[in-house]
Structure 1
Amino acid sequence: MTQAFDAAAQQALLESRVAAALEQARKLGADACEVGASVDQGTGVNVRLGEVETVELSRDQGFAVTVYVGKRKGSASSSDAGEDSIRAAVERAMAIARYTGEDPASGLADADLMATEFPDLKVHHPWHLDTDEAIELALACEAAGRAVPGITNSDGAGLSSGEGVRVYGNSHGFLAGLKGSRHSLSCMLIAGDEQGMQRDYDYSSVRDPALLASPESIGQRAAERTLSRLGARRPATGKMPVMFAPELAGGLVGHFLSAIAGGSLYREASFLCDRLGQPLFPDWFTLMEKPREIGAMASSPFDNDGVYTRDNVYVEGGKIASYMLSAYSARRLGMTSTGNAGGARNVRIEAPLVSQQQLLARMDRGVLVTELMGQGINGVTGDYSRGAAGFWVENGKIQYPVEEFTIAGNLNAMFANLLGVGNDIDTRGSIHSGSWLIDDMTVAGS
């Protein structure tokens, strides 16, 4: 589909360019330097109503250098990883460093925190399919969905496949790279009735193309989800339990992780400042990351500072057990890096898991939310308000679809009021979670 991508050769080339940039920075008088480089290549096809709409071939590369002169810092970047561009980027970074103010927390991560072991995490699985094969898969996916009675239109199906390499090095002598791949297939369909049109989608996203869901299953699931939304009403207004579908529960985990991230904490822009060791969730709930999990979507043996990654427990027995810190944010807080420059990797939940049916039975009366709209989250106060769509639940059973309503609460109370986690785990991203049932939220509908 695209020109051949030799990941090993690309990694060797980037490593040589990074090493050259580090040496140039040293010669120009930098006390320390760190360099990141990446190259990604991919292809994507989109089809609609049985016709090919787009075929895209992409190749992106980037190069970023940061130098430290005393406690002064200068950074420059380029989309060209050629030797001349790299030299120019180092010179620009040095020039910038001469004019910036001193920052006592600036500098490389401590040398004794650098990763020294680089196991094969099996995150690189190239997919050698040509354009015609990709189009055939996308067409089969859409056709399977359109064949379901009641589907009246399509927003199309798309397949994307890509692989890439990233390399990081610094003047501690650290230099390492990581190869990776990602492949996905999706479909969005439309159905209508006397009340109007509805649309929904399904997708599969994996490292290894052998694990990609079949085109037919994705198309059929997209059709089922779309048809289930027909005849939607507005729900009643009041205080009631709300269940978040797995992909939305992962978003709640994301809000928590943002609140314990070092950048939010040292800026005092988090509702979880000074809450380390305090209860937030029920005592049966534990949250952790496993950055070296084999084949997972965010696995890496080192973070963006070169610090070795390790399993971190963020919530243990309901209590906040750790913050999420890079080298810089750790210094600002008087703490030690947790290997989280670049964020959390492969977040997992330990809790008693039950079926969605059991969660619905415990809910009795409320709403199951399957779609959220808007960005109504205040990270400083924890206030939460989002537009939503989903299903009305009565007597522990789904009754009919609902839309055009708002759910609201505060993340402190929402986490404390977590009643249960489902075993319907969504594994398509870095955060794996099942459905969440949260008590006593405000639903504003009719």
Structure 2
Amino acid sequence: MSHSSGFSYAFADLQQLSADVLAYARKQGASACEVDVSEGFGQSVTVRCDAVDTIEYNRDKGVGVTVYAGQRKGYASTSDFSPQALRDTVEAALAIARFTAEDDCAGLADAALMAKDCPDLDLYHPWAIDVAEAIDLARRCEQAAFAADARIDNSEGASVSSQEAHFVSANSLGFMGGYPTSRHYISAAVIAGESEEMQRDDWYSTHRDARQLLAPEIIGRTAAQRAVARLNSRQIKTGDYPVLFEAPLAAGLLASLVHAASGGALYRKSSFLVDHLGRKIMPDFVQISERPHLPGGLASASFDSDGVATRDSEVVTAGVLARYFLSAYTARKLGLQTTGNAGGSHNLIIEPGALDRAGLIKQMGRGLLLTEVLGHGINYVTGDYSRGAAGFWVENGEIAYPVEEITIAGNLRDMFAAIAAVGNDVEVRGSKQTGSILLNKMTVAGA
């Protein structure tokens, strides 16, 4: 695998550092050990009102060591790759392990579950962009926003960022894997003004491969159109209405599902989905899959942070919760098998329906199109959901006017059951892929 000259360490160096840590931990009496060695670097520029606002370079590296002394666990980390620092880190982790309580669920995952090979998932696309070019892209992005509408009178800036990293994960069961990754983005946030009123909005594009990013002009123009559309917002009367979560927000509903169905929340009994495996939580047409091996996927991975091989699986089939998201540790706590989700979900995809955003607005007829939510009002124990919101009031299947200073409230259990349609207007920006999601009803508190 070729590496750009940008890394200070060759991949083989990271493998050697991992092997050295494991050998030293064994020598010091650890019964098991896992180690992660990583290095990353990148640059970000921000242009604001056509002037260069910030230029940032980042470069970091780190080693994280987890050791086990029987059923006791200790963790320590360092950013120093010298042999002495690595030995000190192993010793610090062991010292911590000796003072922690025994935990009968502690330990590495089963050797049989470890990833045997690392298929190339096409996650590494260095972007040879120098600072001058990045500034030019950011300027073009922001200028397109200002040119899109005379009411765009200020900007929070346009940014261009390029990041590369590589890592090795290894443990004392003989597992060693790793690969390089990249992630790039272009974003713009602008402010529209009319008489006394001001509204802001933003847009961005992110990919492993910079060639797949939206053109900076499209990003700037979209941010501008979104900000202008929000001018002359008003409140609406309190009531129960259908609510359409536009695609970027709909990903948040999937994130809530992952959180509630994750081992940590389940074994602590702090989730409304405790004991819901095999139970219907959504309508029949809802299919949610995990696809960890998508080429170029923003959350693709051939193994999880336990070193366990990832594999394609169905999370929700015909509305039924088919599995949880478990690491080796949380699986033991629940008396189940790990699902290869130590560290989170990998490319969660909800099957799109036939309609785009405009089609869903038409289907909704009358209700609220949601484009922004604020605050963190989700209680995962009960499922209660309440957040500040903004968006558009829809009347007769058309957007009537912008809405702000409202609160949407419901319960995730009811919200999942109330999914009426999933759009095909998918925005791929992270680990969750979904179109807009229409819910039959939520309580909207306004004037």
TM-score, scaled relative to structure 1 = 0.98
Q: Deviations over 1:358-400 (max 9, x none)?
A: 2112211111010000100001100000000000001111001
In structure 2, distance between residues paired with 1:328 and 1:195 = 55
2:49 is matched with which residue?
Answer: 49
1:368 paired with 2:366, answer no
**How far did 1:82 drift?**
2.8
How far apart are 1:195 and its partner, in Å? 4.7
Residue 33 of structure 2 corresponds to residue 33 of structure 1: yes
Query: Which residue number corresponds to residue 139 of structure 1?
Result: 139
Counterpart of 1:255, as a letter, is S
Q: Secondary structure at the match of 1:98?
A: helix
- Is the CA contact (8 Å cut-off) linking 2:43 and 2:162 kept in structure 1? yes
> How far apart, CA to CA, are the structure 2 residues paired with 1:217 and 1:73?
50
Partner of 2:176: 175
- Aligned counterparts, 1:348-387, within 5 A: 348-387=349-388
Cα pair 1:178 1:300 within 8 Å, conserved: no
What fraction of aligned residue pairs are identical, expressed as a percent? 51
Partner of 2:399: 398
Stretches of structure 1 lacking an aligned partner (at least 5 in a row): none
Q: Deviations over 1:101-151 (max 9, x none)?
A: 111000000000000121110000001111111111111111111112221
Aligned pairs for 1:98-137 (under 5 A) are 98-137=98-137
Aligned mates of 2:140, 2:199 — CA distance in 1: 22
Cα deviation code 1:138-197 (max 9, x no counterpart): 111111111122211111111100100121000001111121000000111111113510
Task: After TM superposition, list the pairs within 5 Å mapping 1:4-403 onto structure 2.
Answer: 4-6=5-7, 9-148=9-148, 149-403=150-404
Distance 2:190 2:351 in 1: 35
CA distance in 2, matches of 1:388, 1:196: 18
Paired letter, 1:180: T
> Separation in 1 of the partners of 2:213 and 2:356?
24
Q: How many Å apart are 1:300 and its aligned residue?
A: 1.0
Tell me, yes or no, if the aligned pair for 1:280 and 1:416 is still in contact at 8 Å: yes
> 3-state SS of the aligned residue for 2:272?
coil
Aligned counterparts of 1:15 and 1:121: Cα–Cα separation in 2:
19
Q: Is the 8 A contact 1:249 1:435 kept in 2?
A: yes
Deviates more, 1:194-203 or 1:371-380: 194-203
- Are 2:145 and 2:152, in contact at CA under 8 Å, matched by a contact in 1? yes
1:352–1:191 CA distance, 2 compared to 1 (3 A): closer
1:348 shift after superposition: 0.5
C-alpha contact 1:312 1:338 (8 A) present in aligned 2: no
Q: In structure 1, how many angstroms separate the alpha carbons of the residues matched to 2:357 and 2:70?
A: 56
Once the 2 structures are TM-superposed, how far is the Cα of residue 351 of structure 1 from its aligned partner? 4.6
2:216 maps to a residue whose letter is P
Partners of 2:129 and 2:360 in 1: how far apart? 42
1:442 equivalent in alignment to 2:432: no
Residue 170 of structure 1 aligns to which amino acid in structure 2?
N
Q: Residue by residue, what CA displacement relative to the aligned partner does 1:15-46 show, whole Å, maximum 9, x if unpaired?
A: 11111000000000011100111111000001
Is the 1:115–1:301 Cα contact (8 Å) retained in structure 2? yes
Write the distance in 1 (CA, Å) between the matches of 2:87 and 2:25.
9
Give the C-alpha shift of residue 200 in structure 1.
Answer: 0.6
- CA distance in 2 between counterparts of 1:279 and 1:108 reads 33
Asked if the contact 2:301/2:310 (under 8 Å) is kept, the reply is yes
Runs (4 or more) in structure 1 with deviation over 6 Å come to none
> 1:85 Cα shift?
1.6
Question: Counterpart of 2:222 in structure 1: which amino acid?
Answer: R
CA distance 1:263–1:80, change in 2 (3 Å): same
Tell me, in whole angstroms, the C-alpha distance in 2 between the residues paired with 1:287 and 1:81.
Answer: 42
Verify the 8 A CA contact 1:284 1:351 in the aligned structure 2.
no
1:252 Cα deviation after fit = 0.5
Deviates more, 1:313-322 or 1:77-86: 77-86
Q: CA deviation at 1:4?
A: 4.0
Q: Distance in 1 between matches of 2:83 and 2:151?
A: 58
Residue 99 of structure 1 deviates from its aligned partner by 1.3
Find the aligned partners of 1:182 and 1:218 in 2 and give their Cα distance: 17
| Residues 242-287 of structure 1: CA deviation (Å, up to 9, x unaligned) | 0001010000000000001001111111000000000000011011
What SS does structure 2 have at the residue aligned with 1:182? strand
Distance in 1 (alpha carbons) for counterparts of 2:268 and 2:313: 23
CA contact (8 A) 2:7 2:39 kept: no
In 2, are the aligned partners of 1:291 and 1:298 still within 8 Å (CA)? Answer: yes
Deviation at 1:11, TM superposition (A): 2.0
Q: 1:307 deviation in Å?
A: 0.3
Instruction: Report SS of the residue matched to 2:99.
Output: coil
Contact 2:7 2:40 in 1 (8 A): no
TM (normalized to structure 2)?
0.97
Letter in 1 for 2:249: L
The residue type paired with residue 109 of structure 1 is A
Contact (CA 8 Å) 2:352, 2:434: kept in 1 or not?
Answer: no
When structure 1 is superposed on structure 2, of 301-310 and 58-67 the one drifting more is 58-67
| Matches of 2:320 and 2:231, distance apart in 1 | 42
User: Separation in 2 of the partners of 1:234 and 1:316?
Assistant: 38
Query: Does the 8 Å CA contact 1:10/1:165 hold for their aligned counterparts?
Result: no
Contact 2:151/2:194, CA 8 A, preserved across alignment: no
| Count of aligned positions | 443
